[in-house]
């Protein structure tokens, strides 16, 4: 299973690189850092219905770090939510897939996001209703580390802890880089685990590129009854992408050249 | 207006369990009955207006009809981007209620004045903007807002506003209500200054000026037909509002008139483009901004005779 999912992750990375090449788009590094998170969720952890994408029983995923939508689109496509052809419309004139994922732009995309700090409040609203109406679905929210700068994120963290939303699971893609530098140099989030914990969440640190570890932890949610769960997923920005951009802010901005893309794809094919 | 709103909402919520009243830690002596009788439909979300708008959006995708509530600037400005992205962009069925239009909270100073809300919100696609002019209209507007599927902003005064209508009028989103026919000038009043528009029209009658008085309770979509009709039927058009002169009812009406190609006399009467330096109760603040009865009458007569 894990071997298979690793292959899926490689396929997703290839699609991300190709989308980035085609649209000459930015935001490739953060897409590459959350691949294993999304693959684990959509292929193993979450209850999803690709043929009936908005089935009421589905688990919800709020992709708050919507600037990295390439990863979401590639995973949804790989999981069978829509045809590969749609991926060709990423960030191109008249295409279906906006740079920031938008509600129902393609089957399976739950909410519009893009401005940082908007996803967790919406996810909390869904979870609040789910809990209140005794629904069995879970709500997953994938956050960037950068958006933990936003006050609205912390409003939602406070709210979810207070209301004991144990059907809500946040995953922070902690690749340690934000827009213009390393997080520790710009606005340090540490101790990040303690902060979430102090706000009433049950926290786990996980290697965000280790699918087995992600699945093991994500399958145990809620970590504690009556508490929302958060996974601090330690990742590397630009992981397995163009080598010179790995763990560099350039991975946020620079699309690959044709030659670089082909090299990366060749390497991924060997995996 | 607050009371008319909450009483109507209470009745609707009792029948429709999808309705959720979500307040940002406000509502003392207003929402207690709702709280006690319908606890599962009430949520005090804390002083976190950005979260309130986002949570409401999430509730809507799960089938609820959230009504979010705070004082005008906090309900519309602190969380403007959440209203834009989470509610309007996704065209979700959230009702945004701002209490304390204009100078309702006069002595509290500018942080609590509601003077720019219509201007900023008018730029948002999908949003309906309702500014009822008296408690009767508030009740009707609340009903219309809740039955409309999509985002609505409902702008309320505070407490103790008198009824202007004698009977329940026909209230339809996007259709102004003619309270009184007249042939010389048209006065469009809105929100908590409808009352002032009425006072002014009574006094103008004594001075021999016949006024067509309109309650423009919907600012978006604006009633284009009624504006054009008034331009054709009367000699001058005036808008009266407790909102910045920029962006509110006056601007909306001006846009329609300018694009109609019909020549007419026109004057926006509202709060000048400045932060008022004095503080005081609502009427004091109105007078400090040229919105006293006599001041408005003078403005109208001067424009008419110019």
> Are A125 and B56 in contact (CB < 8 Å)?
yes
Closest-approach residue (CA) in chain A for B52: A121
How far does chain A reach from its first CA to its final CA, in angstroms? 15
Closest-approach residue (CA) in chain B for A137: B62
Is the pLDDT reported for residue A1 higher than 90? no
Six token digits for residue A221: 């949610």
A239 vs chain B: nearest CA distance in angstroms? 30
Partners of residue A128 in chain B, C-beta under 8 Å: 43, 55, 58-59
pLDDT score, position B159 = 87
Average of per-residue pLDDT values in chain B: 97
CB A57 within 8 A of CB A48: no
Average pLDDT over residues B155-184: 96
C-alpha triplet B195, B122, B115: angle, nearest 5°: 50
> Are A130 and B62 in contact (CB < 8 Å)?
yes
Q: In this prediction, what percent of chain B has a pLDDT beyond 70?
A: 100
Rounded to whole angstroms, the maximal C-alpha distance in chain B is 59
> Are B53 and A110 in contact (CB < 8 Å)?
no
Strand ranges of the sheet holding B19-23, from the earlier edge strand across to the other edge: B42-44, B19-23, B65-71, B95-99, B152-156, B128-130, B218-220
Domain span including residue A115: 2-270
pLDDT score, position B172 = 98
Six token digits for residue B62: 């799960």
Task: Mention every residue, 6+ apart, whose C-beta is less than 8 A from residue B138.
Answer: B1, B4, B5, B8, B132, B156
Is the pLDDT reported for residue B262 higher than 90? yes
Which domains, from first to last, does chain B contain?
Answer: 2-156 (3.40.50.970), 177-305 (3.40.50.920)
CATH of the domain at A128: 3.40.50.970
Q: For residue A230, what are the β-bridge partners?
A: A170, A203
Q: Over the stretch A156-172, which tens digit does the pLDDT of each residue have?
A: 999 999 999 999 999 99
CB A53 within 8 A of CB A73: no
Partners of residue A118 in chain B, C-beta under 8 Å: 54, 81-82, 85-86
Partners of residue B57 in chain A, C-beta under 8 Å: 111, 121-122, 125
Average pLDDT over residues A122-128: 98
Partners of residue B90 in chain A, C-beta under 8 Å: 103, 111-112
Average pLDDT over residues B248-276: 97
Q: Over the stretch B181-200, which tens digit does the pLDDT of each residue have?
A: 999 999 999 999 999 999 99
Is the pLDDT reported for residue A134 higher than 80? yes
pLDDT score, position A33 = 98
Domain count, chain A: 1
Tally A–B CB contacts below 8 A: 93
pLDDT score, position B216 = 98
Q: Over the stretch A65-109, which tens digit does the pLDDT of each residue have?
A: 999 999 999 999 999 999 999 999 999 999 999 999 999 999 999
CB B81 within 8 A of CB B74: no
The number of beta carbons lying within 10 Å of the beta carbon of residue A241 is 27
- Which of B45, B48, B86 comes nearest A122 by C-beta? B86
Pick from B176, B191, B182, B187: nearest CA to B265: B187
Chosen from B17, B53, B62 to mutate, greatest number of chain A CBs within 10 A: B62
Is the pLDDT reported for residue A2 higher than 90? no
Chosen from A55, A64, A101, A121 to mutate, greatest number of chain B CBs within 10 A: A121
Average pLDDT over residues A196-201: 98
The number of beta carbons lying within 10 Å of the beta carbon of residue A191 is 10
Six token digits for residue B101: 């239009």
Q: Over the stretch B6-44, which tens digit does the pLDDT of each residue have?
A: 999 999 999 999 999 999 999 998 999 999 999 999 999
Six token digits for residue A29: 């590094």
Residue B44 in contact with partner chain A when CB distance is under 8 A: no
A246 burial (CB, 10 Å; 0-12 / 13-18 / 19+) is middle
Phi, psi of A71 (to 5 degrees): -65, -45
- Which of A113, A126, A159 comes nearest B46 by C-beta? A159
* Rounded-to-integer distance, Cα A124 and Cα A131, Å: 10
> Are A125 and B59 in contact (CB < 8 Å)?
yes
Query: Which 66-95 residues of chain B touch chain A by CB within 8 A?
Result: 66, 81-82, 85-86, 89-90
The number of beta carbons lying within 10 Å of the beta carbon of residue A224 is 13
Run of H or E residues at B239: strand B236-244
Average pLDDT over residues B236-244: 98
pLDDT score, position A271 = 85
pTM for this prediction: 0.96
Whether the complex's predicted ipTM surpasses the cut of 0.90: yes
């Amino acid at each position: 299973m894990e071997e298979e999912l690793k292959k899926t992750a490689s396929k997703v990375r290839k699609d991300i690189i190709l989308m980035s090449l085609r649209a000459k788009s930015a935001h490739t590094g953060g897409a590459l850092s959350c691949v294993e998170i999304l693959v684990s969720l959509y292929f193993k952890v979450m209850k999803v219905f690709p043929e009936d994408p908005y089935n009421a029983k589905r688990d919800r995923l709020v992709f708050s770090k919507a600037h990295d939508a390439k990863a979401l689109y590639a995973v949804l496509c790989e999981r069978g939510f829509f045809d590969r052809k749609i991926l060709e419309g990423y960030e191109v004139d008249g295409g279906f897939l906006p740079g920031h994922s938008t509600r129902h732009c393609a089957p399976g995309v739950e909410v519009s996001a893009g401005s940082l700090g908007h996803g967790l409040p919406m996810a909390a609203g869904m979870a609040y209703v789910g809990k209140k109406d005794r629904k069995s679905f879970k709500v997953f929210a994938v956050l960037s580390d950068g958006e933990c700068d936003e006050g609205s994120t912390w409003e939602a963290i406070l709210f979810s802890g207070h209301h004991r939303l144990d059907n809500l699971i946040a995953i922070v893609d902690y690749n340690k880089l934000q827009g213009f530098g390393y997080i520790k140099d710009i606005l340090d989030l540490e101790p990040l685990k303690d902060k979430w914990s102090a706000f009433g969440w049950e926290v786990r640190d996980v290697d965000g590129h280790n699918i087995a570890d992600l699945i093991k932890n994500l399958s145990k949610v809620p970590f504690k009854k009556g508490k929302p769960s958060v996974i601090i997923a330690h990742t590397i920005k630009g992981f397995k992408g163009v080598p010179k951009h790995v763990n560099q802010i350039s991975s946020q901005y620079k699309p690959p050249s044709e030659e670089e893309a082909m090299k990366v794809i060749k390497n991924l094919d060997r995996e | 207006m607050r009371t008319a709103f909450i009483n109507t909402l209470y009745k609707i919520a009792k029948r429709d369990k999808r309705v959720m009243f979500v307040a940002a830690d406000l509502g003392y002596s207003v929402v207690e009955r709702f709280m006690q009788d319908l606890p599962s439909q009430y949520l005090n979300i804390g002083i976190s207006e950005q979260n309130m708008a986002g949570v409401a959006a999430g509730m809507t995708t799960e089938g609820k009809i959230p009504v979010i509530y705070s004082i005008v600037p906090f309900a519309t400005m602190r969380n403007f981007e959440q209203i834009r992205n989470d509610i309007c962009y996704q065209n979700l069925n959230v009702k945004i209620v701002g209490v304390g239009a204009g100078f309702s909270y006069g002595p509290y100073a500018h942080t609590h004045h509601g003077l720019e809300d219509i201007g900023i919100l008018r730029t948002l696609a999908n949003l309906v903007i309702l500014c009822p002019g008296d408690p009767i209209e508030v009740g009707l507007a609340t009903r219309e807002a809740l039955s409309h599927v999509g985002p609505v902003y409902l702008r309320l005064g505070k407490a103790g506003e008198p009824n202007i209508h004698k009977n329940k009028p026909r209230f339809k989103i996007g259709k102004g209500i003619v309270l009184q026919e007249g042939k010389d000038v048209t006065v469009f009043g809105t929100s908590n200054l409808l009352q002032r528009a009425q006072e002014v029209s009574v006094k103008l009658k004594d001075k021999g000026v016949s006024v067509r008085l309109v309650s423009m309770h919907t600012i978006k979509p604006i009633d284009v037909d009624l504006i054009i009709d008034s331009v054709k039927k009367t000699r001058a058009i005036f808008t009266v509002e407790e909102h910045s002169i920029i962006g509110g009812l006056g601007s909306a009406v001006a846009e329609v008139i300018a694009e109609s190609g019909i020549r007419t006399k026109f004057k926006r009467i509202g709060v000048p483009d400045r932060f008022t330096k004095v503080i005081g109760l609502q009427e004091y603040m109105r007078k400090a901004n040229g919105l006293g009865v006599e001041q408005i009458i003078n403005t109208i007569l001067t424009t008419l005779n110019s």
